[in-house]
Structure 1
Amino acid sequence: MRPPPVRVLRLGRAAYLDSLAAQGRCVRRHREASASSEAPHRLLLWEPSGPVFTLVAYPVLDLRRFGLPVRGYVAALESVAVAACRRLGLPQAAALPPPCTGVWLRGRKVCAIGIHCGRHITSHGLALNCCTDLTWFDHIVPCGLEGKEVTSLSRELQRHVSVEEATEPFLAAFQEVFNCTLMEGSPTEN
């Protein structure tokens, strides 16, 4: 059985709390409709308006409809980010075994993954560093991994890679990995 279609909601630049509220509305609507086969699967895309430049994706999916356990879902998100990196010209992108969840380029993390799954409905997701000011990571231990560096698509490709440039390869990779049809939606649908 083919997975259901996923509606892409492009939120643009948004404050974290606004994107979190939009995600919460999508999760609530999904749970309310979960008894029907018409539950609204969504992929929220947004760029934080704060001091980072990442493509952040929050899939709101019922994992039962996609036939995925939680660990399989994390692996699928890693596969999406790896495929997006490769489409952008970084064939060395790879997922590493736990505890190094995410996507890595020559030992540097380019994509962080952090999910939540309740009653089979996913929330949160991944952040793909596009043109991030990497000095901000000097003040934290990213993902709790001591001694690991963070990188960006721009650094690795040695040119500016905007969120807009990374979005279409990301969406193509998402559609391929999740074997689903993506449909454009309106941000007001969340």
Structure 2
Amino acid sequence: MGQPAVRLVWLGRVRYTELLAVQDRWLRQLQAGPGTEALSGTEAGALLLCEPVGPMYTTGLRGGLTPKETARLRTLGAEVCATGRGGLATFHGPGQLLCHPVLDLRRLGLRLRTHVAALEACAVRLCEFLGLLDARARPPPYTGVWLEERKICAIGVRCGRHITSHGLALNCSTDLTWFEHIVPCGLVGTGVTSLSKELQRHITVDEVMPPFLVAFKEIYKCTLISEDSCS
């Protein structure tokens, strides 16, 4: 029996709400079971990727923003969206790679905890590909990927009936000043960084896509399939 297949869906530069709408469609298809028009019985789900357009603050199941804070952020020209993922408040915007794997973990032989660790490993591997050898995940209560005390990748997932949604946000050339208006992920005394800041050159989402997909296939032990035969 070969490797499980995951559908690669590159949305390009879209609003965060559009990513959520596509995620919801894939969730419904996976919950309906194999044999649907969009998902064959040999596929484990979809890997949704995009670069968000416009500033967006999101909150998780643990909240993270008061009504007063929400109003203040909107005066800055940002949108604010409550989501069903784990974690607290974070920022999404241009120059960031968003990765939302909508997966049936049973078909991949994974548990939720190993899925979260695999997402962290993908971001660590990508950093290593680019020469940032000190990137690492940290033990609880921390999540995501760090360079010392600087967080470069945030992770927040949701899982119901073995099916995952949401995922990671990797700062490539993100305007980090947007993070100064919140306490990212509720962590006091830590900083936020980006690939561009660490490598002292402009790193685009397009540049990191190929090595990220290599890392994802290796770590999840899957085949990526898409309409344009990207694998």
Note the alpha carbon deviations across 1:12-71, whole angstroms, 9 max, x for none. 011111110000001111111258834551100001101322100010111111111111
Alignment coverage as a number of residue pairs: 186
> Using the alignment, how far apart are the partners of 2:43 and 2:127 within structure 1?
30
Higher relative contact order (CA 8 A, sep 6+): 1
Q: 1:39 to 1:32 in 2, by over 3 A?
A: farther
Q: Secondary structure at the match of 2:136?
A: coil
Among candidates 187, 193, 198, match of residue 156 of structure 1:
198
Among candidates 109, 125, 142, match of residue 67 of structure 1:
109
> Using the alignment, how far apart are the partners of 2:112 and 2:34 within structure 1?
18
How far did 1:164 drift? Answer: 0.3
Residues 8 and 184 of structure 1 are in contact (CA less than 8 Å); yes or no, is this contact kept in structure 2? Answer: yes
Root-mean-square deviation over aligned CA pairs: 1.6
Q: Where does structure 2 lack aligned partners over 5 or more consecutive residues? A: 56-92
Q: 1:140 to 1:81 in 2, by over 3 A?
A: same
Greater share of helix: 1
Among candidates 113, 119, 122, match of residue 155 of structure 2:
113
Residues 6 and 43 of structure 2 are in contact (CA less than 8 Å); yes or no, is this contact kept in structure 1? Answer: no
Note the alpha carbon deviations across 1:141-176, whole angstroms, 9 max, x for none. 111111110000000001000000011111110000
- Aligned equivalent of 2:90: none
Q: Secondary structure at the match of 2:179?
A: helix
Q: Secondary structure at the match of 2:137?
A: coil
User: Which TM-score applies when normalising by structure 2?
Assistant: 0.77
> Using the alignment, how far apart are the partners of 1:34 and 1:85 within structure 2?
35
Residues 2 and 179 of structure 1 are in contact (CA less than 8 Å); yes or no, is this contact kept in structure 2? Answer: no
How far did 1:106 drift? Answer: 2.1
Larger mean Cα displacement after TM superposition, 36-45 or 161-170: 36-45
- Aligned equivalent of 1:23: 23
- Aligned equivalent of 1:133: 175
Among candidates 53, 61, 71, match of residue 49 of structure 1:
53
Amino acid at match of 1:33: G
Please say which structure displays the higher CA radius of gyration.
2
- Aligned equivalent of 2:126: 84
How far did 1:185 drift? Answer: 3.4
User: Which TM-score applies when normalising by structure 1?
Assistant: 0.93
